[in-house]
Chain A
């Protein structure tokens, strides 16, 4: 009888050969190159696939400048980019690689809240520093021991800022309709507080069920309180229905919504008279600030958005913290990040500028392209700008950045 090699065994042999080759290769490369490797874990695919690649590019642009100015601690900086796939399971595998194989002192870039929640414990347990854009309030409340900062405003900050703006518009009686989601109640509570402080009033709130085909009764409930502004705190499919139902009910007051709920596509899907005058809000880059102007030039983009500028700031903050700590470890970054971005030091607007002053032994205060980059003890930013648009004749028109 003729003996044949079992095809499974043949495949196994081929695979283990390939595996041996790949695991040996980085060791050789590492031996020759003493570069300082930083981890990047943005979603290159999945729901975050639009923002992730641009964020990675923005970080690379900052690191190119840092390398041009001599690198960090005398070493060239290299970004090791992994794809988080907007998927917690894939992101955890990628983070493990960055932590165990690359031994990166920092991982920059988690986007979705679910991904950040999954990756954060690996980071704080391995003393790796993590920077993120995820917005869920719960993230900075994790026991991260300082190994996490986020540059995205959380719900609390957003709700407060929105309420300030609404009060400044002169709206006295505000009603808030929120979709059933984790952010619904915290946003209502905070907005109610701030409206009261500013002399306006939250005349009522309700939380509606998603996936309904009509919200007529909810609209009736809101209109009974006679509001002069209704805050529609939901997502595109339901806010579209609410806008229609408010129009049908001849509601003539202001309507206010998050920009992701009233996108240009949503506006295009509705008759102009239904969307006319709707005000939208989104976190904004610090448009017009010196760091923003530098980011514009560095990226060659006319208007870098909030995500690109946040990524710019992470690469700068991590670089400056390593320089300040004089050691490239997660703990070094954690202990020094607030020493370079807040306080009474000289204001700097780019990593290179800051590195120069740090070398001269001066104190610095990095002011970012996404905002002032001042952090609370749990890693939340204390302030940021918001962009307010108004729908006019089927197009979004900038009202102001404030």
Chain B
């Protein structure tokens, strides 16, 4: 019988993993809400963000928070550029074509990163600190920082969607594109904004993953299935859903260790997709953007 401390530790680990997963999952779901296709190029943008943060931190000796902002901005700008130059041309051909184009794009971008940085593993120039012990529970200072950054980023996004004109325009396009265009909302501007924010969050998520591990050109690719699982479980297109989905996948994967061997951990996310989609085809929170 597992002890309370053991379950508590797994839940804490799950919350930490889920919160980091939530950041790029929000990016994926936000882009889906507005542009109506699953943009798998998110994987390479997460990698690009991680490397942008690496350059800022290691080459320019920036501290953590400015490096994280660099990861967000660079990935966001690359997101706008690749969407305008490549994916936008595919959108009239339907969402499946665009989704497949985004897979091709992510492989191409991943190789650009490989060309520039090589295949080696790289780590950020940040000290690795010993965990803090709170009773029987163990928490890493870096994890707490990551948690803080993820929460601030999500808070800023919710504020942007709730209070800013552009955020409201985004929600309007997501809810009813036709009505939004009749009201004079420029879909092109909204698409740029959503790409910047969505891919920026992917880049930020990539760097958060890298802070806990190391980075290489496959950093984003390794995480994309879990990110996708989180977004689908929460309800693809629903931003709060992405958070709920990420926490469900994160905590679910950890708690599965109580009765499953760790090599089945990834399967848990996908079993969750099957379960949720069978019982609630639109995901836990449905598909309303916000």
A is bound by B: yes
- Listed in ascending order, the chain A residues whose CB lies under 8 Å from chain B are 180, 206-209, 211-214, 216-218, 220-221, 236-237, 240-241, 244, 247-250, 265-266, 269-271, 273-274
Verify B212–A271 contact, CB threshold 8 A.
Answer: no
Q: Answer whether residue B83 sits at the interface, using C-beta atoms and an 8 A cutoff.
A: no
Say whether B275 faces chain A, with CB atoms less than 8 Å apart.
no
B216 x A212 contact (CB < 8 A): no
Please give, as numbers and ranges, the residues of chain B lying within 8 Å of A213 by CB-CB distance: 17, 20, 209, 212-213, 222-223
| CB proximity of B98 to chain A, nearest CB, Å | 26
- In Å, the complex CA distance between A237 and B213 comes to 8
Docked-complex contact B213 and A244, CB < 8 angstroms: yes
Residues of chain B at interface, number, CB under 8 A: 35
Residue of chain A at shortest CB distance from B126: A271
Q: A207-B262, A214-B16, A269-B214 are in contact. List 7 more A-B contacts (CB 8 A).
A: A212-B266, A214-B17, A216-B138, A237-B213, A244-B128, A244-B212, A269-B121
Q: List 6 A-B contacts (CB under 8 A).
A: A214-B17, A214-B212, A218-B262, A221-B257, A248-B130, A249-B131
CA distance A247 to B128 in the complex (A): 8
Contact of A236 among B121, B127, B130 (CB under 8 A): B121
* Cβ A211 vs Cβ B266 within 8 A: yes
Do B121 and A209 touch (CB < 8 A)? no
In the complex, B117 has a CB within 8 A of chain A = no
Please state if B265 and A209 are interface contacts (CB–CB under 8 Å).
yes
Write out the residue numbers on chain A whose beta carbons fall within 8 Å of the beta carbon of B10: 217
A217 & B138 in contact (Cβ 8 Å cutoff): no
Q: Is the CB of A265 within 8 A of B257?
A: no
- In the complex the two chains form, what is the Cα distance from A77 to B142 in whole Å? 63
Residues of A within 8 A of B6 (CB): 220
Please, which residues of chain B bring their CB within 8 A of the CB of A244?
128, 212-213
> Complex formed: what's the CA distance from A379 to B121 in Å?
37
Instruction: Select which of A206, A236, A265 is within 8 A of B262 by beta carbon.
Output: A206
Q: B214–A212 contact, CB under 8 A?
A: no
- Nearest-neighbour CB distance to chain A for B179, whole angstroms, equals 40
Q: Which residues of B contact A206 (CB under 8 A)?
A: 261-263
Judge whether B121 and A237 touch: CB under 8 Å: yes
CB distance from A322 to the nearest CB of B (A): 41
| Chain A contact surface mostly | helix
Across the interface, do B223 and A220 meet the contact criterion of CB distance under 8 Å?
no
Whether A209 pairs with B129 at a CB distance below 8 angstroms is no
Of A208, A211, A248, A265, most B-chain CB atoms within 10 Å: A248
Which of B's residues lie within 8 Å of A, judged by CB?
6, 9-10, 13, 16-17, 20, 120-123, 127-131, 138, 140, 142, 209, 212-214, 216, 218, 222-223, 254, 257, 261-266
Which residue of B is nearest A184, CB measured? Answer: B263
Q: CA separation between A334 and B288, bound complex, in Å?
A: 71
* B130→A221 contact, CB < 8 A: no
Q: Are A237 and B263 in contact (CB under 8 A)?
A: no
Whether A220 contacts B214 by the Cβ 8 Å rule is no
Measured CB to CB, the closest approach of chain A to B208, in angstroms, equals 9
Residue from A212, A217, A271 in contact with B128 in the complex, judged by beta carbons closer than 8 Å: A271
A269:B265 contact, CB within 8 angstroms: no
Given the complex, which residues of A lie within 8 Å of B218, measured CB to CB?
237
Q: In the docked arrangement, what's the CA distance between A270 and B9, Å?
A: 26
Q: Give the distance in Å from the alpha carbon of A332 to the alpha carbon of B123 in the complex.
A: 54
Indicate if the CB atoms of A209 and B263 lie closer than 8 Å.
Answer: yes
A265–B130 Cα distance when bound, in Å, is: 23
Given A265-B121, A270-B123, A208:B138 Cβ within 8 A: no
Whether the pair B257, A217 counts as a contact (CB closer than 8 A) is yes
Which residues of the other chain, A, contact B121 by a CB distance below 8 angstroms?
Answer: 236-237, 240, 265-266, 269
A250-B265 in contact (CB<8A): no
Asked, given contacts A236-B121, A240-B121, A240-B213, whether A209 binds B128 with beta carbons under 8 Å apart, the answer is no
A217 touches B262 (CB 8 A): yes
**Known contacts A213-B17, A213-B20, A269 near B122 by CB under 8 Å:** yes
A314–B129 CA distance with the chains assembled, in angstroms: 50
**Complex: chain A residue closest to B20, CB-CB:** A213
Q: Say yes or no: B261 contacts A214, CB within 8 Å.
A: no
Contact of A217 among B209, B222, B254, B261 (CB under 8 A): B254
Given A180-B263, A209-B265, check contact A220 B9 (CB 8 Å): yes
Q: Are B131 and A248 in contact (CB under 8 A)?
A: yes
Task: State A49–B9 Cα separation when bound (angstroms).
Answer: 45
Contact present for B213 and A271 (CB under 8 Å): no
Q: Are B127 and A271 in contact (CB under 8 A)?
A: yes
Docked complex Cα distance between A246 and B66 (Å): 28
CB-CB under 8 A from B266, the residues of chain A are 209, 211-212
User: Nearest Cβ in chain B — how far from A89, in angstroms?
Assistant: 21
Bound Cα distance A265, B119 (Å): 10
The CA-CA distance from A207 to B264 in the complex, in Å, is: 9
Are B257 and A250 in contact (CB-based, < 8 A)? no
Max count, chain A CB within 10 A of own CB: residue among B6, B122, B128: B128
Q: B13 and A217: CB pair below 8 A?
A: yes
Q: Are B262 and A221 in contact (CB under 8 A)?
A: yes
- Asked if A250 contacts B264 (CB within 8 A), the reply is no
CA distance in complex: A216, B12 (Å): 10
Contacts of B214 in A (CB 8 A): 237, 240-241, 269-270
Task: Give the residues in chain A near B129, CB-CB below 8 Å.
Answer: 248
Q: Which residue of B lies closest to A220 (CB)?
A: B9
Across the interface, do A237 and B216 meet the contact criterion of CB distance under 8 Å?
yes
The CA-CA distance from A247 to B265 in the complex, in Å, is 23
Residue of A nearest to B127 (CB): A271
Return the chain B residue nearest A269 by Cβ: B123
Is there an interface contact between B131 and A250, defined as CB atoms closer than 8 Å? Answer: yes
With A206-B261, A207-B262 known as contacts, the answer to whether A216 contacts B213 (CB < 8 A) is no
